[in-house]
Chain A
Amino acid sequence: MEERETIIGLEIHCQLDTRSKMFCGCSTDFRDDEPNTHTCPVCLGLPGSMPMVNKRAIEFALKVAKALNCAINEESEFSRKNYFYPDLDKAYQITQYDKPLAEWGKLLIDGDNGEREIRITRIHLEEDPGRSVHMGTTDRGKYTLIDYNRAGIPLIEIVTEPDLRSPKEARKFLNKLRATLEYLNVFDSEKEGSLRVDANISLKGSERVEVKNISSYKGVEKALTFEVTRQRNLIRRGQRIARETRHFVEARGVTTSSRSKEEENDYRYFPEPDLLPLRVASWVDAIDLPELPDARRERFVSQYGISSEHAKTLTGGLKLAEFYEAVAPADPALAATWTADYLLGELNYRDFTIEAMPRELFKELITLVKGDAITDKSAVEILRIILDAVKEGKEPERPQAIVDRLGLAKSSGDQVTQMIDEVIVEQPAAVADYYAGKMQALNFLVGQVMKKCRGRADPGHLNILLKEKLDKKV
């Protein structure tokens, strides 16, 4: 039986990186502070308090809307989404409902079958609720602590059309979106909980399932892959797929059904009477968008002459792109190869971001490689030594110092010639074997020279030199 098409749509909540909260003056920089220290009557929802809109948050959201080619609505409106939950202090969330800030946008992604346009349904502004911390394990000992530091952090919700065709595409969309938000300087992806995703997924012809509570980039692909398999298996066994909401359990990599009463809410939306309608469409003209990922990729290809593939990788994150541009002067091509093909892998292995690698040291390393002073093998070794030092919280050594300390300098031509001569004298039997036509003897002799120079020569090059020398003797 032919496999049914996978249909995925995403709802992405991103915290906007403003200095103060959505509807009050409290600072958003709470992550290192005690619970409930970044609060005021407004974000605590104290009786009598009223929201006032943070202009920066609107500007940030408009930037995103413009970058995603959305139409900004002439008039948009805040609404109340009413539901009871202990960490929702007003018992309603101020959000946008039937009149969102912006609609009908698009984002170009590198899809499973080439470039594809993913349609954006809408973008709207809202506030984050507080955070519940559930304590205790047994039913009797259970209690919940509530931290309102997060309450009122500005969020944008970005909703896509069901245009994504695989979990991998969903991940790619998110990566592209994240890069775009970073380039706009409105979002800090490294802050814990700064991005949360709900995904709608169905197999063509079957009911749609909503997966909630995905809070990491990797989690999205995992959760959706699990769902695709689960739904395919159900269909294979001739079972019906229930239209339902499921939760992603990150630790186990599975989704579980959550058909509890708490999920069946009637949010009773109505316009927020304490706020005036927003008329901000005209603001968008004054917004100058920075260079976005696609434009930067094209510039990297033309300005640095690197491959499109490398350029795509290197523009995939703002900090990565900035890193590359800082180290490119050493040698654009080598810098691209060494960043994209070696450094990223080493960083990933250590769970590091690009900021872990000191730019000056990386530049020096590229210069050493370019000057043929070290082999690629030595360069990788140096990279690892530097990153391991960073990991241990030590001041990393400069690449040249590591070369000197470990004697990693590539042997010079004269030294190699001398060593070849020595080996020919020292290994008469192998030399005889070579002349007798045993080609393995050459490999043995190369190995002997490598041993002498402790690996600081290029084996392919040695092979040629040795062969030349032996053949000349005949």
Chain B
Amino acid sequence: MAKTLSFNPDDSVHAFLTTIPEVTYGEGPLSGVTVAVKDNITTKGIETTCASKILKGYIPPYDAHVVTLLKDAGAAIVGKTNMDEFGMGTTTENSAFGPTLNPLDKNRVPGGSSGGSAAAVGAGLCDLAIGSDTGGSIRCPAAFCGIVGLKPTYGRVSRFGLIAYANSLEQIGPMARDVSSLSKLFSVIAGPDPRDATSVDRPYSHEPLKKIDGLKIGVPEEFFGEGVNPQVAEVVREAISTLESLGAETKPCTMPSMKYALSAYYVTCTSEASSNLARFDGVRYGPGLDSPKSWHEAYSEQRKEGFGKEVRRRIILGTFSLAAGYFGRYYQKAQTARQMVRDDFERILKDVDVIAGPTMPDIAFRLGEKSDPLQMYLSDILTVPANLAGVPAISVPCGRVDGMPVGLQIIGKYFDDERVIDTAYAFEQEGV
């Protein structure tokens, strides 16, 4: 029997782009649990815009696989959350519909690109949220808003229905106020899907354990290097000591490929994005132009009007990287660098079970603080390696600097999301 609940949040942080005032839900492990869904995940009958003007008014005729799973589990999907347009940003300031604010300090950003989902959970507007993580888009806002967020192993959650920004990097993942709830949400959305050829038959049914006796933790020196706020580094080092006090062993290590990671990431994601976003030409979605122009002119006008500045910048960068004569120097080289990142993880994770470090080099920025795109890109340095390699990574709150939360990032082996979750759980149970 379907039940309903009313959803009228006091959304003073602008977490939601769409809310559902009367939500229907069913029976199941998440029966009646309120879940917010990032606006780049298609929801049948509910406007889905990716926070872009170019998709304004687009009502998908189908549900993403995770949305189907959530509905089947009885979840009450209460709305669609704000984000950086098409996921391109680290602050949720790049939304065509205005920024989301950090619930802990409204002069600061919530992080991004899943900033709306993190803020909705952080502000207590809903119980759980779904985000997507291309280069840190779940972990960064989780860290900035003081909640837990997991980027699962690539392939563990179906991407069918996730509006692609960079297919080879991104994963849908759970966001919650504590590790147990996150684990419960993850068990609903993980598993294979025949409609996503890259999905893998690795369902998740695990109760978090706090026993981490003998767990080996690698601590890469690059995660505490230049550009990392020393206060943030200090809080994270203390968190790692807490894990040691629980029986874990730490081991210093190095990730030389880190110096290529950002370039490899930005070349790969912009290349894929330039192709993914080409379909938004005004013929099938968006406001549309009804002028007797040649279709070339109509396309450029539509795309110039419809996309925000950062999206246009990344499309141009990606188009350039794939162009004849540049492909070898950019896209292909990025794939080589990407392989080096994978090799580094593989090597390190032979000796240790997980890798720990800060999620973000700093605490939540002030609104407008990162106006230079390059400065903004640099802040992704600690999160992109896990996406380049496809390994699981979680961010769990581990303390505060200047009153703002700091995230501890735990990165694990392929399909060892369970251990990553356990480590976060052990810390959460002890550290708070």
Chain A interfacial positions (CB closer than 8 Å to B): 41, 44-53, 80, 82, 84, 86, 89-92, 139-140, 146, 261-262, 266, 268-270, 273-276
Contacts A266-B323, A270-B275 given; indicate if A48 touches B60 (C-beta within 8 A).
yes
- B327's partner among A52, A261, A270 (CB-CB below 8 A) is A270
A interface secondary structure, majority: loop
Measured in the bound complex, the distance between the Cα atoms of B196 and A275 in whole Å is 8
B281 within 8 A of A: yes
Instruction: State the Cβ distance, A162 to closest chain B Cβ, in Å.
Output: 23
Contact with A along B174-206 (1 / 0, CB 8 A): 000000000000000000001111100000000
B interface secondary structure, majority: loop
Identify 26 residue pairs between A and B in the complex whose beta-carbon atoms are under 8 Å apart, listed by A's number: A41-B61, A46-B42, A46-B60, A47-B48, A47-B55, A47-B163, A47-B279, A48-B60, A48-B162, A52-B196, A82-B274, A82-B322, A84-B281, A84-B296, A146-B283, A262-B296, A266-B323, A266-B324, A268-B323, A270-B272, A270-B275, A270-B327, A273-B166, A273-B167, A274-B198, A276-B198
Given contacts A86-B295, A91-B275, A270-B271, 8 further A-B contacts (CB under 8 A): A46-B42, A48-B160, A48-B161, A52-B194, A86-B281, A268-B274, A270-B327, A273-B198
Contacts A270-B271, A270-B331 given; indicate if A50 touches B322 (C-beta within 8 A).
no
B34-84 interface with A by 8 A CB criterion: 41-42, 48, 50, 55, 58, 60-62, 64
Q: How many residues of B contact A (CB 8 A)?
A: 44
B90 within 8 A of A: no
Measured in the bound complex, the distance between the Cα atoms of B285 and A46 in whole Å is 9
Contact with A along B383-404 (1 / 0, CB 8 A): 0000000000000000000000
A49–B319 touching, CB < 8 Å? no
B7 within 8 A of A: no
Instruction: State the Cβ distance, B414 to closest chain A Cβ, in Å.
Output: 15
B275-290 interface with A by 8 A CB criterion: 275, 278-279, 281, 283-285
A50–B197 touching, CB < 8 Å? yes
Measured in the bound complex, the distance between the Cα atoms of B277 and A91 in whole Å is 9
Measured in the bound complex, the distance between the Cα atoms of B196 and A53 in whole Å is 10
A41–B197 touching, CB < 8 Å? no
Which A residues lie within 8 Å of B58 (CB)? 47
A52–B275 touching, CB < 8 Å? no
Measured in the bound complex, the distance between the Cα atoms of B198 and A92 in whole Å is 19
Measured in the bound complex, the distance between the Cα atoms of B296 and A270 in whole Å is 23
Measured in the bound complex, the distance between the Cα atoms of B394 and A15 in whole Å is 47
Report the nearest A residue to B55, measured CB to CB: A47
B128-166 interface with A by 8 A CB criterion: 159-164, 166
Chain B interfacial positions (CB closer than 8 Å to A): 41-42, 48, 50, 55, 58, 60-62, 64, 159-164, 166-168, 194-198, 271-272, 274-275, 278-279, 281, 283-285, 292, 295-296, 299, 319, 322-324, 327, 331
Instruction: State the Cβ distance, A142 to closest chain B Cβ, in Å.
Output: 8
- A270's partner among B195, B295, B322 (CB-CB below 8 A) is B322
A47–B42 touching, CB < 8 Å? yes
A50–B195 touching, CB < 8 Å? yes
B167–A90 touching, CB < 8 Å? no
Which A residues lie within 8 Å of B327 (CB)? 268-270
A47–B278 touching, CB < 8 Å? no
Which B residues lie within 8 Å of A86 (CB)? 281, 283, 295
Instruction: State the Cβ distance, B54 to closest chain A Cβ, in Å.
Output: 10
Instruction: State the Cβ distance, B121 to closest chain A Cβ, in Å.
Output: 23
Which B residues lie within 8 Å of A50 (CB)? 159-160, 195-197
Which B residues lie within 8 Å of A52 (CB)? 194-197
Q: Indicate the member of B58, B166, B194, B284 with the most A CB atoms within 10 Å.
A: B284
Which A residues lie within 8 Å of B278 (CB)? 82, 84, 90-92
Instruction: State the Cβ distance, A345 to closest chain B Cβ, in Å.
Output: 48
Which B residues lie within 8 Å of A80 (CB)? 275
Report the nearest A residue to B331, measured CB to CB: A270
B163–A274 touching, CB < 8 Å? no
B62–A92 touching, CB < 8 Å? no
10 smallest A-B Cβ distances: which pairs?
Answer: A91-B278, A268-B322, A273-B167, A273-B168, A47-B163, A48-B161, A48-B42, A48-B163, A91-B279, A266-B324
Instruction: State the Cβ distance, B204 to closest chain A Cβ, in Å.
Output: 21
